[in-house]
Amino acid sequence: MSEQERLLAQLGDMLAKIARPHRADDELPIDLRSRLSQMGFPCSELTTREELIARLWARKRSLVAAMSAEWGGPGLTPPSAA
């Protein structure tokens, strides 16, 4: 698994944890905020889930776009899944 694929998996995991149903007054757990900071998303107890979700999706979109650009499109044959 490449570093980009690993980061995509981490972003998906964090999105799943942050976007799940919650009460309006629920803060993000400290360990989750710590993991987000390690991933480059500094946040505090005042950072809203909506803001974090938008930032995570923006990073995920840019990463997927960068990975797609590396492939080169349908003119090139992608590597086999062997």
**Model confidence pLDDT, tens digit, residues 26-66:** 888 899 999 999 999 999 888 889 999 999 999 999 988 88
What is the rounded average pLDDT of the residues 8-12? 93
Q: How is residue 67 annotated by DSSP?
A: H
Predicted pLDDT of residue 59: 94
**% of the chain with per-residue pLDDT over 70:** 83
For residue 9, the Cα-to-chain-centroid distance in whole angstroms is 7
Distance (Å, rounded) from C-alpha 75 to C-alpha 61? 23
Predicted pLDDT of residue 82: 54
Distance (Å, rounded) from C-alpha 82 to C-alpha 35? 33
Global pTM? 0.76
Predicted pLDDT of residue 20: 85
Helical spans, DSSP H, in the chain: 3-19, 30-38, 49-71
Predicted pLDDT of residue 25: 76
For residue 52, the Cα-to-chain-centroid distance in whole angstroms is 10
